[in-house]
């Protein structure tokens, strides 16, 4: 066997002229279509038009050109099947040994702001996937290339043996089916959203690999990092790493957790995260002040943690950051002076994230969580509350300052693993109780961490109090105001305790469980 005829039709023409010129020099006859054929002819590469093969013109603005027996018999004929070879001979058909195709730019089309539905539909490729699938199915005899990154290896093998190896053809065929599956999944996702069916009877998703990871959550687990096509610029998958070694699996999860929290704030904010829970959150007039508050919230736990800011890191802030060991600093940017300071630390990773969207403008996406044998899918939790949304349920109303701190605490507790309690004062967290099996246990941890700072602080709870014990604990610690969803059959018990101790309490009507 040897490669004698190639069918080439690409939307992304990077490298295709040089590749085809080399094929031609090796004696391979090249068939091509539309714009690819025009380009090759212009560059002096011998090319046969698809209509010369099919005996039929390209019609309907190119919608129909390769969907023809003269093409697909050449791709699908089993070369060692006597009946197939007899039919090819009787019908005067020729084999096609190599297919080089990439598809209409559907992803790039729907990424354009306000793209028209008709334009999106027009960029759904039909002939391309059909040729790819035909060639990939018949990979025992046909080589198929969908990725320009494979051009070099294909040429090398043709030069050496006149054909690709079976192992290479198997690998290329597998890549084709991944590619067409991803292409169809993107189309299905787009149409599901257009028709208002974001959770349809079949949930098809596709992701592109960013990098292999050294290992997963633990060294014995394999892992890789993937991005969803068209991911927004303010997501971790779009971050630019400016310094430091590769991210680990745990780094990625922690950095994403920090990023989601810092997105809650319009004012300068800094978040410190350990094991996907915030250990310190602060807001201030500047990123410098915000970092000081985040650090002072828990100077012990921040060591070895992840820090995310929603403002550019300046020189003064960098001088503070360099004084402790941090795994990652994530921010919309770094001044030159800050970079000079922080890049002297070999083990710190610096990530530049895209411009963060305003908290009120955040749109819900869908979160996929794998379980053994399947997955569960839900909308992301982008719900937020304003002062006007709150229901005061106690005799005493919160003061203006208490209200400010309650809303701050509510933004943070939403991102703490349930059961979750957050204490806040002076625009910073002073105690965080995360992931406990009962709510009073989470409160005890937060209060113990806060120590004397609990006096005069406010308390945020991600879900309602099933009884009054958490309020009793809060009152004894000197907490003056509470924010919680409400909705328990024992709400009156909690309200009674709050009134007894003069605690102001507000209900949001929304809970924020986070498992």
Label residue 75 left, alpha or beta by phi (over 0 means left) and psi (-120 to 50 means alpha): alpha
Place of tokens 């040429």: 155
98 closest CA partner among 155, 42, 40:
155
Q: Which position among 4, 137, 383, 397 bears the catalytic label? A: 137
Assign 213 to helix, strand or coil: strand
Place of tokens 């790039």: 108
243 flagged as catalytic = no
Question: How many C-beta neighbours within 10 Å does residue 43 have?
Answer: 13
Q: What are phi and psi of 335, to 5 degrees?
A: -70, 160
Q: Which residues, 6 or more positions from 38, have their beta carbon under 8 angstroms from its beta carbon?
A: none
Question: How many C-beta neighbours within 10 Å does residue 263 have?
Answer: 23
| Residue 124 DSSP class | -
- The rounded distance, in Å, linking the Cα atoms of 413 and 406 is 10
Element (H, E) at 280: strand 277-283
Asked if 109 and 119 count as a contact pair (C-beta separation under 8 A), the reply is: yes
Asked if 226 and 209 count as a contact pair (C-beta separation under 8 A), the reply is: yes
Q: What are phi and psi of 252, to 5 degrees?
A: -65, -45
| Residue 65 DSSP class | S
Q: Which position among 4, 84, 228, 275 bears the catalytic label? A: 275
Radius of gyration, alpha carbons of the chain:
30
Asked if 171 and 192 count as a contact pair (C-beta separation under 8 A), the reply is: no
Assign 80 to helix, strand or coil: coil
56 closest CA partner among 38, 43, 36, 70:
70
Q: Which residues, 6 or more positions from 281, have their beta carbon under 8 angstroms from its beta carbon?
A: 261, 269, 270, 271, 272, 293, 294, 297, 412, 428, 429
220 flagged as catalytic = no
Which parts of 31-116 fold into alpha helices (H)? 34-42, 50-54, 69-76, 82-90, 106-110
143 closest CA partner among 171, 115, 122, 180:
171
Q: What are phi and psi of 484, to 5 degrees?
A: -155, 165
Q: What are phi and psi of 48, to 5 degrees?
A: -110, 130
Give the catalytic positions in this structure: 137, 275
């Amino acid at each position: 066997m040897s490669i004698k005829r190639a069918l080439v039709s690409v939307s992304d023409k990077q490298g295709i002229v040089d590749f085809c010129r080399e094929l031609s020099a090796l004696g391979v006859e090249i068939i091509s279509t539309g714009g690819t054929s025009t380009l090759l002819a212009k560059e002096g590469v011998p090319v046969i038009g698809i209509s010369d093969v099919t005996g039929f013109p390209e019609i309907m603005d190119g919608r129909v050109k390769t969907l023809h027996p003269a093409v697909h018999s050449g791709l699908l004929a089993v070369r060692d099947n006597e009946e197939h070879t007899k039919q090819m001979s009787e019908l005067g058909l020729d084999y096609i040994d190599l297919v080089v195709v990439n598809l209409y730019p559907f992803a790039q089309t729907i990424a354009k702001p306000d793209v028209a539905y008709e334009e999106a539909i027009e960029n759904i490729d039909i002939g391309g996937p059909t040729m790819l699938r035909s060639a990939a199915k018949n990979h025992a005899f046909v080589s198929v290339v969908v990725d320009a990154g494979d051009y070099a290896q294909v040429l090398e093998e043709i030069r050496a043996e006149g054909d690709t190896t079976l192992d290479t053809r198997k690998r290329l065929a597998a890549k084709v089916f991944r590619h067409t599956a991803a292409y169809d999944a993107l189309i299905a996702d787009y149409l599901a959203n257009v028709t208002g069916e974001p959770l349809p009877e079949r949930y098809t998703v596709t992701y592109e690999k960013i990098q292999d990871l050294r290992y997963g959550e633990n060294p014995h687990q394999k892992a890789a990092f993937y991005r969803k096509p068209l991911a927004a610029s303010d997501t971790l998958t779009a971050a630019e790493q400016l310094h430091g070694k590769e991210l680990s699996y745990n780094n990625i999860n922690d950095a994403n957790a920090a990023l989601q929290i810092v997105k809650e704030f319009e004012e300068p904010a800094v978040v410190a995260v350990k094991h996907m829970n915030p250990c310190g959150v602060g807001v201030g007039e500047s990123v410098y002040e915000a970092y000081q508050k985040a650090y002072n919230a828990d100077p012990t736990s921040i060591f070895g943690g992840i820090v995310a800011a929603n403002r550019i890191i300046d020189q003064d802030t960098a001088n503070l950051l360099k004084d402790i060991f941090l795994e990652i600093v994530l921010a919309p940017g770094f001044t030159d002076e800050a970079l000079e300071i922080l890049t002297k630390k070999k083990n710190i990773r610096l990530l530049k994230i895209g411009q963060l969207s305003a908290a009120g403008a955040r749109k819900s996406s869908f979160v996929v969580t794998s379980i053994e044998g399947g997955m569960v899918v839900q909308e992301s939790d982008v719900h937020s509350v304003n002062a006007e949304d709150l229901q005061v349920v106690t005799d005493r109303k919160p003061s203006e300052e208490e209200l400010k701190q309650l809303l701050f605490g509510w933004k943070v507790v939403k991102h703490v693993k349930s059961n979750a309690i957050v204490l806040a004062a002076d625009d910073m967290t002073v105690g965080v109780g995360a992931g406990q099996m009962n709510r009073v246990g989470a409160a005890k941890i937060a209060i113990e961490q806060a120590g004397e700072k609990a006096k005069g602080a406010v308390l945020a709870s991600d879900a309602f109090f099933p009884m009054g014990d958490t309020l009793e604990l809060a009152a004894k610690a000197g907490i003056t105001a509470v924010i919680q969803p409400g909705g328990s059959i024992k709400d009156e018990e909690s309200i009674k305790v709050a009134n007894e101790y003069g605690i102001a309490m507000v209900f949001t009507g929304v809970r924020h469980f986070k498992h």
